[in-house]
Structure 1
Amino acid sequence: MLPAGWLVAAVFVAVLLTSWVTFTLTRLDRLHARVDAAQSALDAQLVRRAAALLQLGERPDSNLAPDTAHALVGTARAALAVQHWQQDDRRTVENQVGRAIAGLQAERARLPADAVTELAEAATRVMIARRFFNDAVRDTRTLRARRMPRLLHLAGRRELPLFFDIDDTSVFSDSPPDREPGTPPEHPT
Structure 2
Amino acid sequence: MSEVLSWVFAVLFVLVVIAWYLSYTAARLDRLHVRLSGTLAALDARLVRRAEAAVELANSGLLDGATSLILANAAAGSLEAPSEHGGARELAENDLTEALDVALTPETVADLKATALGTDVLARLSSACTRVQLARRFHNDAVTDVRRVRRKWAIRVFHLAGHTPLPRTVEFNDEAPEHLVVA
TM-score by structure 1 length? 0.87
Aligned to 2:121: 115
Describe the shift of the 1:87–1:52 C-alpha distance in structure 2 as closer, same or farther (beyond 3 A).
same
CA RMSD, Structure 1 to Structure 2 (Å): 1.6
SS in 1 for 2:21: helix
Matched, 1:16 2:22: no
Distance 2:105 2:126 in 1: 10
Q: How far apart are residue 94 of structure 1 and its match?
A: 0.6
The one-letter amino acid of 2:100's match is: I
Identity over aligned pairs, percent: 36
Aligned to 1:5: 6
What are the ranges of 5 or more consecutive residues in structure 1 without an aligned counterpart?
176-184
Give the count of matched residue pairs. 174
Contact conserved, 1:49 with 1:119, CA < 8 A, in 2? yes
Contact conserved, 1:144 with 1:155, CA < 8 A, in 2? yes
- Please list the CA deviations of residues 168-187 of structure 1 after superposition, one character each: whole Å capped at 9, or x if unmatched: 23455334xxxxxxxxx7xx
What are the ranges of 5 or more consecutive residues in structure 2 without an aligned counterpart?
113-117
Q: How far apart are residue 81 of structure 1 and its match?
A: 0.3
Aligned to 1:72: 71
Aligned to 1:99: 98
**Structure 1 residue ranges (4+ consecutive) displaced by more than 3 angstroms after TM superposition:** 169-172
- Please list the CA deviations of residues 80-106 of structure 1 after superposition, one character each: whole Å capped at 9, or x if unmatched: 001421411111111111122233142
SS in 2 for 1:3: helix
Segment drifting more, 138-147 vs 98-107:
98-107
Describe the shift of the 1:105–1:19 C-alpha distance in structure 2 as closer, same or farther (beyond 3 A).
farther
Aligned to 2:135: 129
Aligned to 2:154: 148
Distance 2:165 2:77 in 1: 27
